Amino acid sequence: MKLLAWLGRKVGGALVVLWLVATAIFIGVRLIPGDPAEAIMGGPGSQASAEALANARSEYGLDLPIISQYFLFLAKLIRLDFGTSYSFKDPVLQIMGEVLPPTINLALLALVVAWLLALLFALLAMRANKFGRLLGNAVEIVAAAVPHFWLGAVLIMLFSSMLGWLPAVANGTPAGLVLPVLTLALPLAGFLTQLMRDSLNTAMGSQFALAARARGESRLTVFRRHGLRHAALPALGLTGWAFSSLLSGAVVVEAIFARPGLGRSLLSAVLARDIPMVTGIALFSALVYIVVMALTEAIERLIDPAGADS
């Protein structure tokens, strides 16, 4: 019963969030200066006639009252009809199906690398002396604060231009993934490490850790059996947010490394005022956030059932 109630709350909350996101998108795209009919006809440079613009408004329902447009917009979304992209001239779902896999692969790889780096840094911080911990803390803060565009440029200059080890442009090979993944993963790793280190210090100084040390267990054993779980929980709780931030960061990273994907498509759609494409990508991002947050909470309940029910 608890599981069914939890699922019911999650599904209900997801529907409300998606409705709010859809409403915000509907309002936001109509506040952007310019005529949507011009975007449909190819932009202001197309020099479309007044008759062609009027036909476009009629075909896409842009001549209806705003409240009618809103309910028509919601009705189409319920049927998973995102319409046809103004700029690509193909159905939005078809385009997203083509550009989605590269972005998901990039974000998932970056998330895994960020977690591995965070665990490694947390372990090194536990075994370091006072100076090492201070140095590690400084590195974590800098890594978490570095913007993606700056980090990507530095990595290209260092590993591609100067050393020639890795390609600067995504070329479809595993080597072409290294720099984009690191550009996304390093700032997130710095942030996760800060969370894990604080929780780890609290866990390693708790009564159960001190009792384990008194029984003769080594510090590394206590870390592996007890401290790691408590250190990972706060960072795990932010994994949903982290994955969504990686998807948004992919907009910059895919542009820097000329990598095809959802991010570059979103950037092109915004510049072209492609309302259907922007709507589809934004709603998909919201749905991914909801799903990942639900999976994260489920994992937390498995790791710490008492804490999840409290």
Q: Which parts of the chain have pLDDT scores under 50?
A: 308, 310
Q: What is the pLDDT of residue 87?
A: 76
In DSSP terms, 91 is beta-bridged to 84
∠ CA 247-249-252 to the nearest 5 degrees?
125
Residues whose CB falls within 8 Å of the CB of residue 193, separated by 6 or more in sequence, listed in order: 117, 118, 121, 122, 125, 136, 140, 143
**d(C-alpha 154, C-alpha 146), whole Å:** 11
How far are the Cα atoms of 84, 98, 212 from residue 261, in angstroms, in the given order? 18, 8, 49
In DSSP terms, 153 is beta-bridged to none
Q: What is the pLDDT of residue 159?
A: 87
Q: What is the pLDDT of residue 176?
A: 82
Output the furthest CA–CA distance in the chain (Å, rounded).
Answer: 85
Q: What is the CA radius of gyration of the chain?
A: 24
* Cβ atoms of 22 and 72 closer than 8 Å: no
Q: pLDDT, tens digit, for every residue of 54-77?
A: 777 777 777 778 888 888 888 888
Q: pLDDT, tens digit, for every residue of 149-166?
A: 888 888 888 888 888 888
Sequential DSSP letters for the chain: -HHHHHHHHHHHHHHHHHHHHHHHHHHHHHHSSS-HHHHHTT-GGG---HHHHHHHHHHTTTTS-HHHHHHHHHHHHHTT---B-TTT-SBHHHHHHHHHHHHHHHHHHHHHHHHHHHHHHHHHHHHS-HHHHHHHHHHHHHHHH--HHHHHHHHIIIIIIIS--S-SS--SSHHHHHHHHHHHHHHHHHHHHHHHHHHHHHHHTSHHHHHHHHTT--HHHHIIIIIHHHHHHHHHHTHHHHHHHHHHHHHHHHHHTT--SHHHHHHHHHHTT-HHHHHHHHHHHHHHHHHHHHHHHHHHHHH-HHHHH-
Q: What is the pLDDT of residue 39?
A: 67
In DSSP terms, 84 is beta-bridged to 91
What is this structure's pTM? 0.71
